[in-house]
Structure 1
Amino acid sequence: MKRIEAIVRPERTSRVRDALVAAGAAGMTVTQVQGMGSLHGFLEEGVTDVTQVLPKTRIDIVCRDEDVERFVEAVIGAARTGEPGDGKVFVSPVEEAVRIRNGKRGDNALVAEEL
């Protein structure tokens, strides 16, 4: 299993969410955060003396290994504007997942279930 963490522009959140659902994501966590990248929060040339954090959205998904590339491409396709500040995607291993409601573990904990 893998964890995909995407930091994107807030105005792209809906597009990214919809792209992930269309790609088959069973669930995600969406959090409003603040941050800065290599430009230190500024897009203007010559402004380097003050560091500013900007609003961003963090979208977290835990998925099966075989779904990672499809989900990463969905994020990139929906989040990219081609301008500085589009964000980043991080992929890291997940050792275990447990669905609290029924105790299912591993990939079985990630599969969408009917209620």
Structure 2
Amino acid sequence: MKEIMAIIRPKKVTKTKEVLDSLGFPAMNAIRVMGRGKQRAILNEISFEINEPELLDMEGSMRYIPKRMLALVVPEEDVSLVVEAIMKVNHTGQIGDGKVFVCPIEEALRVRTMENGDEAIS
């Protein structure tokens, strides 16, 4: 099993969820996150005004940029399919497209049924 964590643009979440669901991976966690890489501002990414001074630096660009982090655990044989789908949906060729991380998972347990391993994530 592997955990796939994807940091993506907020406006790409719905399409990403739809594609993953159509591929048979409906279960995920979506978390609002703030961060930054090389991207220094957002153009046409958010529909609200930024009034929090801690988010802006002296030049008026953003210190932290709102993103979404999707996290899902998949069987090892499905990692390539899921990663490729996330990459395809989120690729614009512009700075700020995001990052995808793949991490090993030692064990998974479903509390309700006491299932473990791949059965716990299916």
Q: Which runs of 5+ in 2 are unaligned?
A: 43-58
Residue matched to 1:85: 96
Displacement of 1:22 after TM fit? 1.3
> In 2, distance between residues paired with 1:28 and 1:91?
14
When the two structures are superposed, what TM-score results if normalisation uses the length of structure 2? Answer: 0.81
> In 2, distance between residues paired with 1:8 and 1:88?
7
Q: Which of 101, 105, 108 is 1:94 aligned to? A: 105
Residue matched to 2:65: 54
Task: Establish whether residue 74 from structure 1 lines up as the match of residue 118 from structure 2.
Answer: no
Moved segments of 4+, more than 6 Å = none
When the two structures are superposed, what TM-score results if normalisation uses the length of structure 1? Answer: 0.85
Aligned pairs for 1:1-80 (under 5 A) are: 1-39=1-39, 41-42=40-41, 52-80=63-91
Change (3 A) 1:26 1:13: closer
Deviations 1:61-95 (A, max 9, x none): 00100010000011011111111000000001000
Deviations 1:43-74 (A, max 9, x none): 7xxxxx77611000000000100010000011
User: What is the aligned-residue RMSD (CA, Å)?
Assistant: 2.1
How many residues end up aligned between the 2 structures?
Answer: 108
Q: Which runs of 5+ in 1 are unaligned?
A: 44-48
Determine what percentage of the aligned residue pairs are the same residue. Answer: 38
The 3-state SS of whatever aligns with 1:11 is: helix
> In 2, distance between residues paired with 1:23 and 1:91?
18
**Residue pair 2:36, 2:64 contacting (<8 A) in 1 also:** yes
